[in-house]
Amino acid sequence: MARYDAAGCPLPTNLLEAAAWHFAIVATCRKCGAEGVFDPHALWNLFERKGWDVGIRSVAYRLRCRRCGAGAFVSWSKDKAATVQLPMPDPRKWKQALNRLRS
C-alpha cells in the first residue's frame, strides 16, 4: 500500500512500487558514506530471483558497502541515474508484476 507525502505525491514502500513509479534506489553506507544508485527494475529483479522480501526496510538489511562491508541506509530519488549495473527483468515477468500491482 502506497504512502503519500504532504504534497500528495506517492512514496514507495517496496521495490515494485519504486520501479513502477520510476524512483531510483539510493544506498548510502552507514560507515564510510559511499553511495550506490540502483535501477529499481534491476534491483527488484534480483530480490525476486533470490526470493527476498522486496519491502524498502528489508532492502536495507541485504545491501552492503563494497568498500567497508557496513550496512546501508536506503532512500529513493527521481533525479539520480543508476551507478550500479544489474541484469534487467524479463519483460513478460515485469508486466505480470505490474498487473499484480494494479489489481
Binned at pLDDT 50, 70 and 90, residue 73 comes out as: very high
> In this structure, how many other beta carbons lie within 10 angstroms of the beta carbon of residue 101?
14
Q: Torsion angle of alpha carbons 68, 58, 55, 96, nearest 10°? A: 80
Average pLDDT, integer, range 30-35 = 93
pLDDT exceeds 70 at position 3: yes
Q: Which residue has the cell 515494485?
A: 16
> Looking at the domain assignment, is residue 96 inside a domain?
no
**Average confidence score pLDDT of the chain:** 89
pLDDT at residue 2 greater than cutoff 70: no
Q: Measured between alpha carbons, how far is 95 from 12 in angstroms, rounded to an integer?
A: 18
Q: Is the pTM of this model over 0.95?
A: no
Q: Are 29 and 65 in contact (CB under 8 A)?
A: yes
- The number of folded domains in the chain is 1
Whether 101 maps to a domain, the answer reads no
Residue span of the structural domain in which 36 resides: 3-79
Q: What is the pLDDT of residue 29?
A: 94
β-bridge pairing 3-4 and 10-11: antiparallel
